[in-house]
């Protein structure tokens, strides 16, 4: 059984004074955090630029990383003290899928923020299959069933239908797979003998780093991709692609990135861990407060070369509450990026369990697991206890509101209703195997992949 690490506070933290930011006895003050050039690294940039790290006595260096593997390896080997991570990364590392290491998260960085984009050519072929609104614009959300005839046509011509996603355990991989499967397309399986993820696939998914997505699409190497911002809007601005669905439309208020640290770091540096979590919570509050009033300022920060390094206009398209599909088709999506409201920063066990179900669904977890295994694994990685310690200090210091935190949560969200998910199938994190059994495409029960076949 995976065990939850204890987190102890020094006596100075437990005194209950209002000077706690100063009284935390930090084990380590100089820290280096990694990130990938995506809009949702915003809490790190804001915590740095607004001085929230310094308020906690932390001297932080932020370093952009070449890709998600380099980033994870940096946290594991200690070159990075923590990082903006794909939510699947701490879970995969902890269960030994890929590089094995116990990584935890005390802070969830955001909700939503991704999209699925196809090339102009593919979009033109999809459009006859897409219902229209009264004003002639496409009706959203757009089902992958509209892509089905296009994929079939490519198959008849002997052309593999290639799409990009950012990493095998990324939200983008699982969201793209979810969308395809909900539309009746097979996105392929993994097995211990074949980690391509393309076993039995109608659509062949492969890894492309986020900033390279538009150029790879333009070159014709892939016909579409799933990625975070600003790389969907970049395709619109470049005139090379059309986002067909946002993940808000796919699964309303779905969990996205997390802040990951090694379990060893948290154990050796408990007060430092709480201090950095406090700074990140403050940044998330700032990003969402007063109905996103600070978003324009956040866009200017993110546009800098040391952060995302994309045009402010492109970043603003999604960060300020709108999203552009086809050129000129700008729609209100106020919750495209959520950083604090809806308890976005709380690391819910049920969010972790959803990722684990998708790993099992597509064969990354090769063997069946009990509900208890899913829950215990989630509890070993997602650490709401650390989060709430940090939140309590912020409230006591007058830097956060008591009502903004789920103090009495057992770590599970209420089940996501069917109407909030594209395939109309509800999700309850307390019953992972029942959820897997409810999905028409994907492994369930005792099924495994043997060779290229699903076996009972």
Specify the pLDDT at position 199: 98
CA distance 205 to 3: 34
pLDDT greater than 90 at residue 20: no
pLDDT tens-digit series, residues 126-174: 999 999 999 999 999 999 999 999 999 999 999 999 999 999 999 999 9
- In whole angstroms, give the CA distance from residue 350 to residue 172: 18
Mean pLDDT for 358-366 is 98
Q: How many CB atoms lie within 10 A of CB 306?
A: 12
Residue 329 has pLDDT above 90, yes or no: yes
- What are 172-186's pLDDT values in tens digits? 999 999 999 999 999
β-bridge pairing 448-450 and 322-324: unpaired
Question: Among candidates 353, 358, 359, which has minimal Cα distance to 375?
Answer: 353
Asked if 279 and 52 touch (Cβ cutoff 8 Å), the reply is yes
String of DSSP letters for 196-214: EEEET-SSEEEE--GGGHH
Question: Are the C-beta atoms of residues 238 and 214 closer than 8 Å to each other?
Answer: yes
Q: 364-373: string of b/e by CB count within 10 Å (b at 16+)?
A: bbbeebeeeb
β-strand pairing of 111-112 with 337-338: antiparallel
Mean pLDDT for the stretch of residues 302-308: 97
* φ, ψ of residue 149 in degrees (nearest 5): -60, -30
Half-sphere CA count of 226, side-chain side, radius 13 A: 30
pLDDT greater than 90 at residue 19: no
pLDDT recorded at residue 446: 96
Q: 31 has which bridge partners?
A: 60
Contacts (Cβ under 8 Å, ≥6 apart) of 69: 167
| Helices of type H across 96-239 | 120-126, 148-156, 171-182, 213-218, 231-238
Domain 13-112+255-404 identical in fold to domain 114-254? yes
Whether residue 41 has pLDDT greater than 50:
yes
Nearest 10 degrees: Cα torsion 164, 174, 95, 347:
120
Tell me which residue has tokens 């909900």.
Answer: 182
Residue 21's SS3 state is helix
CB 236 within 8 A of CB 243: yes
Q: Which of 170, 329, 182, 306 is nearest to 249 (CA)?
A: 182
User: What's the CATH number of domain 114-254, 3.40.50.1820, 3.40.190.10, 3.40.50.300, 3.30.950.10?
Assistant: 3.40.190.10
- If you average pLDDT over residues 403-432, what whole number do you get? 97
> So what CATH class is 13-112+255-404?
alpha beta
pTM of the model: 0.94
Please tell me the predicted confidence (pLDDT) of residue 342.
97
The average pLDDT across 269-290 equals 98
Domain boundaries, the chain: 13-112+255-404, 114-254
Residue 32 has pLDDT above 60, yes or no: yes
Range with the lowest mean pLDDT among 5-9, 54-58, 107-111, 325-329?
5-9
Indicate if the pLDDT at residue 215 is higher than 80: yes
The stretch 332-360 carries a mean pLDDT of 97
Give just the sign of the alpha carbon dihedral 16, 18, 21, 24: negative
Q: Does residue 23 register a pLDDT over 90?
A: no
How far apart CA 359 and CA 376 sit, in angstroms, is 16
Rg (CA), the chain: 21
Strand partners for 82: 33
Strands 114-119 and 224-228: antiparallel
CA dihedral 65, 71, 77, 80 (to 10 degrees): 60
Within 8 A by CB and 6+ apart from 291, the residues are: none
Distance set, CA 238 to CA 118, 207, 245 (Å): 13, 22, 18
CA angle, corner 146, sides to 145 and 148, nearest 5? 60
Alpha-helical regions (H) of 24-170? 42-49, 52-55, 68-77, 88-95, 120-126, 148-156
Q: Of 173-177, 269-273, 321-325, 436-440, which gets the smallest average pLDDT?
A: 321-325
> Is residue 109 helix, strand or coil?
coil
Evaluate whether 164 touches 205 at the Cβ level (below 8 Å): yes
* Predicted local confidence at residue 283, as pLDDT: 98
């Amino acid at each position: 059984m995976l065990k939850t690490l204890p987190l102890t506070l020094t006596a100075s933290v437990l005194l209950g004074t209002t000077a706690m930011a100063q009284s935390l006895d930090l084990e380590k003050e100089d820290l280096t955090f990694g990130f990938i050039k995506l809009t949702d690294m915003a809490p790190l940039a804001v915590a740095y630029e607004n001085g929230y790290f310094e308020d906690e006595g932390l001297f932080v260096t932020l370093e952009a990383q070449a890709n998600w593997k380099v980033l994870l390896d940096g946290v594991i080997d200690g070159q990075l003290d923590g990082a903006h991570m794909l939510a699947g990364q701490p879970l995969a590392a902890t269960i030994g899928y890929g590089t094995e290491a116990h990584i935890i998260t005390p802070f969830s960085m955001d909700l939503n923020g991704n999209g699925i984009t196809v090339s102009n050519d593919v979009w033109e072929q999809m459009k006859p299959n897409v219902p229209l609104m009264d004003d002639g614009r496409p009706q959203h959300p757009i089902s992958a069933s509209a892509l089905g005839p296009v994929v079939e046509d490519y198959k008849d011509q002997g052309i593999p239908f290639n799409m990009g996603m950012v990493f095998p355990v990324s939200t983008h991989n699982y969201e793209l797979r979810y969308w395809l499967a909900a539309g009746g397309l097979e996105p392929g399986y993994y097995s211990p003998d074949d980690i391509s993820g393309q076993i039995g696939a109608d659509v062949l998914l492969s890894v492309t780093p986020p900033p390279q997505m538009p150029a790879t699409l333009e070159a014709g190497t892939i016909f579409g991709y799933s990625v975070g911002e600003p790389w969907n809007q970049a395709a619109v601005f470049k005139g090379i692609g059309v986002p067909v669905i946002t993940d808000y439309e796919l699964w309303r208020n779905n969990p996205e990135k997390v802040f990951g640290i090694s379990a060893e770091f948290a154990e050796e540096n408990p007060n430092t861990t709480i201090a950095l979590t406090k700074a990140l919570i403050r940044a998330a509050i700032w990003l969402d407060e007063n109905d996103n009033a600070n978003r324009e300022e956040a866009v200017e920060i993110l546009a800098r070369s040391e952060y995302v390094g994309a045009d402010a206009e492109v970043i603003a398209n999604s960060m300020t509450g709108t999203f552009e599909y086809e050129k000129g088709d700008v729609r209100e999506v106020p919750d495209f990026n959520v950083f604090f409201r809806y308890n976005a920063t709380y690391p819910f066990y049920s969010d972790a369990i959803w990722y684990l179900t998708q790993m099992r669904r597509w064969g990354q977890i090769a063997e069946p697991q009990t509900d208890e295994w899913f829950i215990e694994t989630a509890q070993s990685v997602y650490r709401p206890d650390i989060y709430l310690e940090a939140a309590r200090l912020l409230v006591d210091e007058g830097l956060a509101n008591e009502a903004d935190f789920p103090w009495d949560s057992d770590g599970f969200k209420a089940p996501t209703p069917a109407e909030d998910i594209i395939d109309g199938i509800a999700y309850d994190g307390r019953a992972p195997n029942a959820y897997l059994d409810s999905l028409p495409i994907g492994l369930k029960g005792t099924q495994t992949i043997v060779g290229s076949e699903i076996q009972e």
